Amino acid sequence: MSDVISTASDTSLAGTAEPSGEPWWKGAVIYQIYPRSYRDTTGDGIGDLKGICEKLDHVASLGVDAIWLSPFFTSPMHDYGYDVADYCDVDPIFGTLEDFDALVEKAHRLGLKVIIDQVYSHTSDEHPWFAESREDRTNPKADWYVWADAKPDGSPPSNWQSVFGGPAWQWDARRKQYYMHNFLTSQPDLNLHNRAVQDVLLDAARFWLDRGVDGFRLDAINFAMHDRKLTDNPPSGLPMDRVTRPFDMQRHVNSMSQPEVPAFLERIRALLDQYGVRFTVAEVGGPQPLGEMKAFTEGEARLNSAYSFDFLYAQDLTIGTVQDSLSAWSGAEGEGWPSWAFSNHDAPRAVSRWSGAHDQRQVSRLLMLLLLSLRGNAFIYQGEELGLPQADVPFEALKDPEAIENWPHTLGRDGARTPMPWTDDAPFFGFSRGDAWLPPDPAHGPLCVTSQEASPGSCLNVTRQLLRLRQDAQALRIGAQSFLHGSNAILAFERSVEDDLIVCAFNLGDVEAVWRPEGGGEKWQVLATQDGVVDSAAAFPGRLAPKTGYWARRKRLSADNELD
């Protein structure tokens, strides 16, 4: 399995091909960019839109279909952009609207779609809407946020808890009421039960659609509505060894996840349909997200896709985890299309969570092979194509408010947000000429882009090879999925469309294992392993070493009904 075919980078590989009869987004691979940490062109240590534009050729060379940009909107940055103070402008630290337009133009020229975040559950407390809402109880925006009176004893209106620790209610002396915040106290929750609030959010969405964006990721959308009776949440019953914050001690059936959310999503979908083929994906957190994911994507009038934290927060990669997550999406009529992510800006990098005692460079390639074989869309987080491990960020350098508040019991998000390493012969690995907002980890230097460009077997070049193959293989991009084997460390399933059938097999265990699909090497041609695309004459593997895998295509029958 070492006969790897090297493929040169080629920006023409950017995902422009569309399967016959299918929208561009179905089976797409989407590359997430965290703007603060991608490329800084001004020397202030913070990444910017011009930096992203500068590095789009790298993204296009991978062969992905689209980019997803985390928030770049006007914000005081208490939660690094997820506290929006103006939905329709670019924060000056990232650039200007003209910079954004230039980025969209170049992305489209390279064949890349552009997806941006929309944060509808809350705003910053510095948003003008909130400034007006908190003035008194009678102003035009008085009920644009979630306000409630104190209980007779002065305590909060309900027992709801904030994700970042402490009650989800903050007292405001101006109105002599509490306002709700599922996250930081500086992130007051919008009242999406109010039709006028929905309308202004749709206006904001229209603003970006008019500028050429190709879709939205809806952040924390299941937090968008609350029980209007303010009913207490019941206890979760979790044992204390699984609790790091009061939020974990409740079932959040009343503070979020309300049945009115899908009707708002239908309004979003109706707007996007006015702009042709656009893509919407929901982020759905929580211990049991499947029901909401299905509801949010049901039929043709809601969102296209949704993803959960099934893999993002999993401490171990097990066969059961993969089977349970994927089996929930059968492809039944009316069912939405799933999306999958192993890493993102909110979760520790997967290669650090799942490598154990094994070589991280090998595991990083195996994880890419697995991610790109799953039925659904694949999200690749910046640096995942390099196999970056979780960075070590000392306490004194932390920026993440959740990590600082709960240190050391919460690992926090900063270790996944450190700057992208471009070259090992420049300060801050080529990210910036000034002090980076988070310190780069020295361990990332040898994994930088320029070093991996020169190595045919690097995670970067293997990623390019696998993405090229996925683009050309409709079975991998949009095919059905059925499991063949799931025990003794071997995970195996088929991907199929029409007469094209590809088997994907992985040894997720710690010891060598034996497994062959029906017919063995006589019936199947190996296409790729964790080391990349293989020569067509490569021998079929009889054994799988730990943390290895392959894709193999069933050989087609010739005219005389013999295997080719």
pLDDT at 202 over 80: yes
pLDDT at residue 462 greater than cutoff 90 = yes
Q: State the CB neighbour count (10 A cutoff) for residue 536.
A: 10
Alpha helices by DSSP H, listed for 407-553, are 449-453, 459-472, 474-478, 520-523
Q: In terms of C-beta distances under 8 Å and separation of at least 24 residues, what long-range contacts does 493-496 make, across chains too? A: 493/326, 493/373, 495/373, 495/375
The reply to whether 283 belongs to the active site is: yes
- Report d(CA 532, CA 1) in Å as an integer: 9
Question: Which is more confidently placed, 440 or 408?
Answer: 440
Distance CA 152, CA 149 (A): 9
In this structure, of 180-194, 264-278, 280-294, the range with the lowest mean pLDDT score is 280-294
Note if 57 is an active site residue.
no
Asked if 351 and 367 count as a contact pair (C-beta separation under 8 A), the reply is yes
Average pLDDT (226-242) is 95
Question: How many CA atoms, within 13 angstroms, populate the side-chain half-sphere of residue 48?
Answer: 20
On the question of pLDDT at 357 being above 80, the answer is yes
**Is a pLDDT exceeding 60 seen at residue 14?**
no
pLDDT at residue 372 tops 70? yes
What is the percentage of the chain residues whose pLDDT exceeds 90? Answer: 84
Domains of the chain with bracketed CATH: 11-123+195-470 (3.20.20.80), 480-554 (2.60.40.1180)
pLDDT in tens, 45-59: 999 999 999 999 999
Q: What is the pLDDT of residue 477?
A: 97
Query: What are the φ/ψ torsions at residue 306 (nearest 5 degrees)?
Result: -155, 155
pLDDT at 130: 98
Q: What residue has token string 């982020």?
A: 283
* % of the chain at pLDDT higher than 70: 94
**pLDDT number for residue 362:** 97
Where would I find the beta strands (DSSP E) of 156-312?
169-172, 177-180, 215-219, 279-283, 305-307
Catalytic residue among 219, 384, 414, 531: 219
pLDDT of residue 48: 98
| Region of poorest pLDDT, from 29-33, 482-486, 492-496 | 482-486
Q: Which residues contact 7 (CB under 8 A, 6 or more apart)?
A: 461, 464, 465, 468, 533
E strand intervals along 62-145:
66-69, 73-74, 86-90, 113-119
**Predicted local distance difference test score (pLDDT) of residue 20:** 54
Question: Model confidence over 429-443: pLDDT tens digits?
Answer: 999 999 999 999 999
Query: Any idea which residue has 């929930």 for tokens?
Result: 328
Q: Which segment of 10-14, 63-67, 131-135, 179-183 scores lowest on mean pLDDT?
A: 10-14
The pair phi, psi for residue 479, each rounded to 5°, is: -70, 160
Question: Does residue 386 register a pLDDT over 50?
Answer: yes
Confidence of residue 563 (pLDDT cuts 50, 70, 90): very low
CB 504 within 8 A of CB 551: yes
More confident of the two residues 96 and 562: 96
State the catalytic residue, choosing from 83, 91, 283, 292: 283
Q: Amino acid identity of 262?
A: P
What is the per-residue pLDDT for 288?
83
Measure CA 429 to chain center. Answer: 25
CA geometry: angle at 316 spanning 312 and 319, to 5°? Answer: 100
Kindly state the DSSP code that residue 7 receives in the 8-state scheme: -
pLDDT at 448 over 70: yes
Check pLDDT > 90 for residue 408: no
CA distances (Å), origin 313, targets 8, 116, 295, 309: 34, 23, 22, 6
Beta bridge partners of 338: 306
pLDDT band at 411 (very low <50, low <70, confident <90, very high): low
Distance, in Å, from the CA atom of 544 to the CA atom of 550, rounded to the nearest integer, reads 9
Give the residues across from 86 on adjacent strands. 74
On the question of pLDDT at 558 being above 70, the answer is no
3-12, 100-109, 289-298, 535-544, range with the lowest pLDDT: 3-12
Q: Point out the least confidently predicted range of 40-49, 234-243, 467-476.
A: 234-243
Question: Please, are residues 240 and 155 in contact by the beta-carbon 8 Å criterion?
Answer: no
pLDDT at 10 over 90: no
| pLDDT, average across residues 182-195 | 98
Least confident of 396-405, 456-465, 485-494, 515-524: 515-524
Q: CA dihedral defined by 345, 321, 164, 351, rounded to 10 degrees?
A: -40
Mean pLDDT taken over the chain:
92
Cα 479 → chain centroid? 22
Question: Is 157 within 8 Å of 114 (Cβ atoms)?
Answer: no
Which pLDDT score is estimated for 538?
75
Lowest-confidence region among 49-58, 141-150, 294-303, 507-516: 507-516
Task: Give the max Cα distance, the chain.
Answer: 86
The Cα 90–Cα 208 span in angstroms is: 11
Distance CA 294, CA 304 (A): 10
pLDDT in tens, 21-45: 899 999 999 999 999 999 999 999 9
Q: If pLDDT is split at 50, 70 and 90, which confidence band does 556 have? A: low
| pLDDT of 403 | 82
